[in-house]
Amino acid sequence: MSAVYPATSPSAAAARFTGRSVTGERPLSGSLTEVALDDGRTVVVKRGDSAEAARAEAAGLRWLAGSGTVRIPVVHGDDEHWLVTDRVARGRASAQAAARFGRDLAALHAAGAPAFGAAPPGGPEDAYIGLAPMRNVPGDDWPRWYAEHRVLPYLRCAVDSGTVRSAEATDVERVCELLPALAGPGEPPARLHGDLWNGNVLWGADGQVHLIDPAAHGGHRETDLAMLRLFGCPHLELILAAYEEAAPLADGWADRVGVHQLFPLLVHTVLFGRGYAEQALTAARAALRRAR
């Protein structure tokens, strides 16, 4: 007789989306559960905070995987509560994997997007980056779009909560005004992971890097690279060197890192408080000094 699981359990979601019986489950951190299947595989079941969050993540994973570039866990299914994907068996960070990841990331970005802010096919306009809401509103001018939809919404939220003082916010607002001059040469929309910090970069036992938990959208490729640098990553310089060999970055890209980090720093300000506000303000003031 087949096992019966509570309708709202991770095991029930895994059985429904994989068509296999479940032999056990193990809670992980937060909303994640590892579920073992009767064919020897293990999947990861994630409980979404909302229907939009689960749908956005699933659509993002499929869109990134559809590029045929970076390694993405297979999506077995999703609904308004659950997302079920393959588990990535962990390995060690290696120089060889880092170089391959740099080349694959360049190819992912080159796969492109219909517009800056374009959502993945089937993904909602109202998506998420981590636990923070993120709207995918298309635009054709990166500086204007980045200011309006990636920087200023989180700045306003931080000011409203008192985490950033109004007088301080003027520095970030001034950077937004100067973005056409600070952004560097124009580039076509890239297919971004969108939340490319070290925790979402998994070094697999297969000797390759796998990416999880995207906030995928069309954007500027330097934003992914800036986020990768923000929180550190093993073999980062090897990743960047391989990336540049495959797809050279525009002159002065290193000076623009802080501009691209304003988005994740302000998201973290909204979620986690004043420490990240200080970093965002430091990045903004550095950009203003370079603009003089």
Query: Where do the domains of the chain lie, and which CATH numbers do they carry?
Result: 10-86 (3.30.200.20), 95-291 (3.90.1200.10)
pLDDT in tens, 84-138: 999 999 999 999 999 999 999 999 999 999 999 999 999 999 999 999 999 999 9
pLDDT at 67: 98
Helices (H) and strands (E) in the chain, counts: 10, 11
Cβ neighbors of 138 (< 8 A, separation 6 or more) are 114, 115, 116, 117, 118, 218
Q: How confident is residue 51, by pLDDT bands cut at 50, 70 and 90?
A: confident
Q: Taking the model in full, what pTM does it have?
A: 0.94
pLDDT at 4: 45
Sign of the torsion angle spanned by Cα atoms 261, 262, 265, 267: negative
3-state secondary structure 12-55: HHHHHHHCCCEEEEEECCCCEEEEEECCCCEEEEEECCCHHHHH
pLDDT at 8: 78
Asked if 74 and 61 touch (Cβ cutoff 8 Å), the reply is no
Amino acid of residue 136? N
- Res. 2: pLDDT tops 80: no
pLDDT in tens, 180-203: 999 999 999 999 999 999 999 999
